[in-house]
Structure 1
Amino acid sequence: MAAPFLTQDFHIRWSTLTPEHIESDIRAALEKAQANLDAVIDQDRGKMNFDTVVLGLDESTRELNESWCLVSHLDSLCNSPALREAYNKMLPEVSAFFAKIPLNEHLWDLFVTYSKTDEARHLDPVRKRALDESMEGFIQAGADLPPDKKKRVEEIEAELSQLTQKYSENVLDSTNKWELIIEDVERLKGLPQTALDAAKADALAKNLGTAEKPAYRFTLKAPSMIPVMEYVEDASIRRQVWEGSCSIGRGGEHDNTELVWKILRLRHEKAQIMGKANFADHVLAHRMAKNGQSALRFVTDLYERVKDAFERETIELQEFRADNAHQDVDLFEPWEVAFWSERQRKSKYDFDEEELRPYFPIDKVLSGMFQLAEKVFDLRITSREVVYVEPGKEAPANVSAQPGKSGPVEVWHPEVKFYEVRNEKGVHIGSFYADWHPRDSKRGGAWMNYLRMGVPPSGERDRRLHLGLICGNMTPPVDGKPALLTHDEVTTVFHEFGHLLHQLCGNVEIPSLNGVSVYWDFVELPSQLMENFCWERESLDLFARHHETGEPIPARLFKKLIAAKNYRSASDIMRQLAFGKLDLELHMHHATDEGADLDKLSRSILKGCLMQLKTEQPTMARRFGHLFSSPVGYAAGYYSYKWAEVLDADAFTRFQQEGVLNPAVGREFRDTILSKGNSEDPAKLFHDFMGRDPDAMALLVRAGLA
């Protein structure tokens, strides 16, 4: 296929997307986008209107956005040396192109001139917001700057894109480099059978051990690492894994220390050029928090409310270990905390997370989640037949390219599934891919993204369908048995599905205001709201079924789950606040401390937020992908998880009061929040749903701290 990355097929032909096409295809997309932009700029000022100016700009780069999105997506999921090289070659050019758009003085003049026209003054509210948001984006990117400063901002953007990509590669490579092979199963006493089976299967897949004399392979990916830290009785093994996790992005060829300082310095320089005191003020000017100080105040206020409970939980855990290990009360080593926490939880609530695993086979979790989407949000989700074709190989003749056409849909890996989403009238509004298990070529964590931005039909224009994806690194299936998830993994699946619903339900006619294109501290509301359904009996009964018997979770086990729900909740909140505080402090007060000891600095910033330990832990900053693996990402915005948690805890009280599966409340949430994107101020959208402003107390009540 010529120019596969420029495909207009809705069902993407992944096997054609090979690294050798990236450079030529993206160059062609850049040229076309530039020609489109020139046409927008050179239009007859006497005939300009909203469609030719605001929508014209949106549309001018759509094909480039979509083709580059495919390249970035493959970089995250099918990383290989050839792909990485091609991606890195084009990354600076693509970044520089997008950085130049808001700095183009002729384009900015066009927007300013249009904004003064009679039509612009009388736009309907949504179009008016689109114009205002576009102009705000121009100003925030430096449209008002003199030429020399504009040029410097372009250089900074290009440099940031390369540095953050290198940071991300270092995290992936250092994670993949580490492994622990255990041949004596006796040393793994305490490890649950599911984790043992997975470690054995992983070793066999790497040609280690045999079926008769198995070896067990452990990695730093969450499904492998977490059970070791929580259950293995041999402290020396837990210590090795902890030391392995400390090596991510630290030391040797994959060290991220210098990159962290360079990224911070460049962001700070950019903020100063824009006339802001620091990067947090620059980024948050266009978010609910408005500036760094108010975000930091939010973090500090929550810290004050939970610190006594946090200290109490730490002392209780130290005393529990002292009693059970017959020793004096003492500080923990970092590799002891998860292990003793799990033991304390079991002792307090007679609850072991592993007991729940049999009730969460991934297929049942997904089908139950889709059922919930139908009951509560009036959506129908159906799977399509899929086919995996090796890159560069010929696909079957019957592969489907467009919706409505029969035949299987191509996917990028044999484990990937594909689904279609319809509304209550049976109208197809979008589709999505799902990819749930870890691989060496796949980055860690869980995420949602979109490959095509949909818009509803308008005037002459037909509906353009949303195309999204959800990915995770959940416990994989072993020996032909279903993948059995932990409750924690189930909430992660629901979280990412919440983001996906926000995208797929987006019903705003202006693409730049649609779907998840909302203020960053509002974007986590739908995702975190969905997590609540994983704790309610009514909703759990839709998907939590024993993989062998089909039985729902027994009442005694459900009671234990709920009783243990807020176990060490202050410590959990404090952990998130520590991430948010480190992020804000680095970007507000330490961005130019280049050469300072990053570990020592992190410790002083987080004094009081972290449990005191015998061995000091290296800073999270070297592997904190949320902050440093893209030019902006969650930088100066990590607080938004907790900010949105206040919103979701409060919003979910309506479901609790009016019915967890109440379709009227669900439909109202869909209509007032999910479908609205950024077409109105998020504070107003929340108010429309709740009839009042958010109440921060809801979060503390849910956490059992008020």
Structure 2
Amino acid sequence: MLSVDLLSLAKAQSTPTWTHTPEEIMEIAKELAQKEVEMNDYVASVEEPTVENLLIPYTKHENESSFLENQIVFYQDVSADKAKRDASTKAEQLLQENGIEQSSRVDVFKVLKKLHNKVKDADESVIDKESKRFLDKVRIGLTDEKRDEVKKLKVELSNLSVKFSKNLNEENGFVLFTLEELDGVPQDVIDGFEKTKDGEVEKLKMTFKYPDLFPVLKYAKNQETRKAAYTSNQNKVPENAEILEKMVKLRFELAKLLGYETYSEFILEDRLAKNQKTVLDFLDDLTSKLKPLGEKELISLKEFKNQDLKSRSLPTQDEIFAWDSNFYDNLLLEKEYQVDHQKISEYFPMNSTIDKMLGFYEHLFDIKFVKVENSDPSTVWHEDVIRFAVYQNIKYGELEFIGWILFDLHPREGKYGHAANFGLGSGYEKTDGTRQTPYTVLVCNFTKPSKNKPSLLKHNEVTTFFHELGHGVHNILSKTKYVRFHGTHVPRDFVETPSQMLEFWTWSKNELKQLSSHFETGQPISDELIDQLIKSKHVNTGLFNLRQLHFGTFDMRLHTVSDKEKIEQLDMTSLWNDLREEIALFSNGGVTTKGYASFGHIAGGYQSGYYGYLFSQVYANDIYYNLFKEDPMNVENGIRYRDLVLKKGGSEEILDVLTDLLGRPPNSDAFLEELLSSSA
């Protein structure tokens, strides 16, 4: 037992405030931009660079400005005040344009390169490994005549990406349904729909927020209802289609200016995959392995669909449509596997599930989460936000505050519409040797509690929570010298690995039982329900992963075009719809959609990188199978994994880190075993 009062200690920890006005947000952005210019002017003036007169002040500036920049940009994703969201978007554009200009300065690059050449062979008495890695990553390499063209393209791409994201966040569309059209949708969900009049008819408003949309796709018996919900959601931000089309063409131009055959070759140079051939071979190989399994699953699903239609005296159909997949997948789980996700959700009320989930991480990584109430409203951007102070070395008596993690869990107007972790404040080593602790945020969109029930998490939402918390804990536990390498600042095709690895805990019997607690009785979930759920893990896994391959392949097809004429003739709408039928196997039913218009990943961050979700699973499965499969709560392996992987962030080569952890280079054996286990 600890003799200290952790809550009192936590309340005493300094924490950022969220009281900025729209005007202050813009003013801060201008000040940050000016300071960046001043720092680069200083660097360019250094004639004889050393670690002391160049690297220390340069990295100090980057470290210390990081949080404030992330904070003012974050308002656009979470603020309930549209004026703040708008100011945040403008601030991001200003900062990105300035960043592009400053990162293109040859005078700065030459001085940094000069220092790099001086110290690249020096020992650790002169420069530590992480500092040497920092200088290794400094690149520019542009000729004078191309630099202005490249800057112009980067600024235009940055602005389009911000606009694409803003359009998604501000999206407030809906579809109106009668109560009869929503037959099958749980009453709790229907009760949450706003009522409105469509002429003389009372209708219910289904928005495209996850808690509205997914239950309709999963439970609505009326096929036309599901079709309307699906196609409307796919087409919900039509203006983004044109934006993405323009971005793809600009990316092509940028790659050519920089001397690359394709945009993918440019992007992948710093990824683990290294080149587009590796990625395309990976995707093609997976598709060829999974397609026979998916086709087999599709035949069974068609038979199941027609049994359902016959039972309701409806004509049979020869196809499974894209809007059928969630409904029949769920119905199959209920009827053939006795998996009732509504029933299962009763055992995962949000608050107790969060407490138990945090307990798992506490046990594995020797940390402690201390909930701190928002007695001062300025410490959060919205009243829904939950704050935790995190401590380490509890078991060994060396109490250490290691950072803040915050949860913003319910949808609201203007808020980021998916699930993500935002590492707003990276940890780093201050010049006096002390540490700046990290500040990280989970943003999700789970159902709000009702008058009669708390927020109940579906099993897939529990898995999503585990996944995003994995990113958050990666940020909290990382201990690097520089923000540039902190936590999730790793190659994009590895960044999902720690989170995907932790998803396994939500499919492990003992862990699921410990995680559960019925919202009325407090009883854990029964062995029977758990066994049925676990048995269903790989039901239609071929079709599920083929859907991921559709996304990844579409992304790569956009960014591996090497011919100017072909990029001009690229028909993105046909490519999106044709690839869905070809790879994901579900019929489009003759309906053309522009789902890529809400594919936020490839508009900013995951362009030529969506393959990374599957690619990083190779490493995730290898780690889990070798360290945790036999004993998911093995503390010794948890601490080892924490110190060898999470703590290092991106400060070392990832393949070297994994080889150290596993005792051998990583391989795909566990990945293929897990992926293809249902085909046995």
TM-score w.r.t. the length of structure 1 is 0.87
**Deviation of 1:464 (Å):** 0.9
Between 1:663-672 and 1:68-77, the stretch displaced more is 68-77
State how 1:189-228 maps to structure 2 within 5 Å. 189-199=183-193, 203=194, 216-228=204-216
Is 1:524 matched with 2:496?
yes
Q: Against the structure 1 CA distance between its residues 276 and 590, is the aligned structure 2 distance closer, same or farther, given a 3 Å change threshold?
A: closer
Residue 601 of structure 2 is aligned with which of 626, 630, 654?
626
Equivalent residue number for residue 319 of structure 2: 331
Is residue 525–residue 647 contact of structure 1 (8 Å, CA) maintained in 2? yes
Structure 2 SS opposite 1:176: coil
Residue 424 of structure 2 is aligned with which of 440, 443, 451?
451
Residue 613 of structure 2 is aligned with which of 641, 651, 654?
641
Within 2, Cα distance between the matches of 1:125 and 1:347? 67
**Deviation of 1:294 (Å):** 0.8
**Deviation of 1:349 (Å):** 0.5
**Deviation of 1:102 (Å):** 3.0
Q: Against the structure 1 CA distance between its residues 378 and 646, is the aligned structure 2 distance closer, same or farther, given a 3 Å change threshold?
A: same
Is residue 416–residue 443 contact of structure 2 (8 Å, CA) maintained in 1? no
Within 2, Cα distance between the matches of 1:497 and 1:520? 18
Structure 1 SS opposite 2:560: helix
Is residue 79–residue 85 contact of structure 2 (8 Å, CA) maintained in 1? no
Question: What value does the CA root-mean-square deviation take over the aligned residues?
Answer: 2.4
Equivalent residue number for residue 514 of structure 2: 542
Is residue 447–residue 455 contact of structure 2 (8 Å, CA) maintained in 1? yes
Equivalent residue number for residue 143 of structure 2: 146
Equivalent residue number for residue 384 of structure 1: 372
For 2:520, give the aligned amino acid: E
Is residue 116–residue 135 contact of structure 2 (8 Å, CA) maintained in 1? no
Equivalent residue number for residue 571 of structure 2: 597
Q: CA deviation digits over 1:358-391, x for unaligned, max 9?
A: 11111111111111111111111111111464xx
Equivalent residue number for residue 10 of structure 2: none
Within 1, Cα distance between the matches of 2:298 and 2:182? 27
Equivalent residue number for residue 302 of structure 1: 286
**Deviation of 1:88 (Å):** 4.3
Is 1:17 matched with 2:29?
no
Equivalent residue number for residue 475 of structure 2: 503
Is residue 120–residue 128 contact of structure 1 (8 Å, CA) maintained in 2? no
Q: CA deviation digits over 1:237-283, x for unaligned, max 9?
A: 22221232122222xxxx22221121111112221222111111111
State how 1:116-265 maps to structure 2 within 5 Å. 116-117=117-118, 121-123=122-124, 127-128=128-129, 130-138=131-139, 143-173=140-170, 175-180=171-176, 182=178, 184=179, 186-199=180-193, 203=194, 216-250=204-238, 255-265=239-249
Is residue 51–residue 127 contact of structure 2 (8 Å, CA) maintained in 1? no
Q: Against the structure 1 CA distance between its residues 436 and 84, is the aligned structure 2 distance closer, same or farther, given a 3 Å change threshold?
A: closer
**Deviation of 1:129 (Å):** 5.0
Q: CA deviation digits over 1:12-35, x for unaligned, max 9?
A: 221x21212222221122222222
Q: Against the structure 1 CA distance between its residues 85 and 351, is the aligned structure 2 distance closer, same or farther, given a 3 Å change threshold?
A: closer
Within 1, Cα distance between the matches of 2:53 and 2:508? 49
Within 2, Cα distance between the matches of 1:227 and 1:84? 29
Equivalent residue number for residue 426 of structure 1: 399
Q: Against the structure 1 CA distance between its residues 619 and 694, is the aligned structure 2 distance closer, same or farther, given a 3 Å change threshold?
A: farther
Is 1:694 matched with 2:666?
yes
Equivalent residue number for residue 356 of structure 2: 368
Residue 259 of structure 2 is aligned with which of 275, 286, 292?
275
Is residue 91–residue 161 contact of structure 1 (8 Å, CA) maintained in 2? no
Within 1, Cα distance between the matches of 2:293 and 2:181? 36
**Deviation of 1:190 (Å):** 1.5
Within 2, Cα distance between the matches of 1:639 and 1:233? 34
Residue 437 of structure 1 is aligned with which of 410, 428, 431?
410
Is residue 371–residue 542 contact of structure 1 (8 Å, CA) maintained in 2? no
Is 1:288 matched with 2:311?
no
Is 1:109 matched with 2:110?
yes
Within 1, Cα distance between the matches of 2:287 and 2:457? 32
For 1:171, give the aligned amino acid: L
Is residue 411–residue 446 contact of structure 2 (8 Å, CA) maintained in 1? yes
Between 1:528-537 and 1:97-106, the stretch displaced more is 97-106
Within 1, Cα distance between the matches of 2:438 and 2:232? 40
Structure 2 SS opposite 1:469: strand
**Deviation of 1:590 (Å):** 7.4
**Deviation of 1:315 (Å):** 1.1
Q: Against the structure 1 CA distance between its residues 513 and 63, is the aligned structure 2 distance closer, same or farther, given a 3 Å change threshold?
A: closer
Equivalent residue number for residue 299 of structure 2: 315
Q: CA deviation digits over 1:185-234, x for unaligned, max 9?
A: x44322123323333xxx27xxx59xxx9974321111111111111122
The count of corresponding residues between Structure 1 and Structure 2 is 652
Structure 1 SS opposite 2:582: coil
Structure 2 SS opposite 1:430: strand
Is residue 26–residue 87 contact of structure 2 (8 Å, CA) maintained in 1? yes
Equivalent residue number for residue 4 of structure 2: none
Equivalent residue number for residue 66 of structure 1: 67
Identity of aligned residues (%): 27
**Deviation of 1:123 (Å):** 4.0
Instruction: Flag structure 2 segments of 5+ consecutive residues without an equivalent.
Output: 1-12
Equivalent residue number for residue 406 of structure 1: none
Within 2, Cα distance between the matches of 1:240 and 1:20? 42
**Deviation of 1:480 (Å):** 5.7
Within 2, Cα distance between the matches of 1:436 and 1:51? 44
Is 1:554 matched with 2:551?
no
**Deviation of 1:120 (Å):** 5.4
**Deviation of 1:117 (Å):** 1.9
Q: Against the structure 1 CA distance between its residues 463 and 136, is the aligned structure 2 distance closer, same or farther, given a 3 Å change threshold?
A: closer
Is residue 252–residue 263 contact of structure 2 (8 Å, CA) maintained in 1? yes
Q: Against the structure 1 CA distance between its residues 283 and 550, is the aligned structure 2 distance closer, same or farther, given a 3 Å change threshold?
A: same
For 1:521, give the aligned amino acid: D
Within 2, Cα distance between the matches of 1:128 and 1:655? 28
State how 1:31-70 maps to structure 2 within 5 Å. 31-43=34-46, 45=48, 48-70=49-71
Residue 487 of structure 2 is aligned with which of 498, 507, 515?
515
For 1:33, give the aligned amino acid: E
Is residue 173–residue 236 contact of structure 2 (8 Å, CA) maintained in 1? no
Equivalent residue number for residue 99 of structure 2: 98
Is residue 432–residue 468 contact of structure 1 (8 Å, CA) maintained in 2? yes
TM-score w.r.t. the length of structure 2 is 0.91
For 1:674, give the aligned amino acid: L
Q: CA deviation digits over 1:118-175, x for unaligned, max 9?
A: 575324799445434544441xxxx2211221111211121111111222223334x4
For 1:420, give the aligned amino acid: A
Structure 2 SS opposite 1:12: coil
Q: CA deviation digits over 1:466-517, x for unaligned, max 9?
A: 1111110112211163110100011111101101111111112233222111
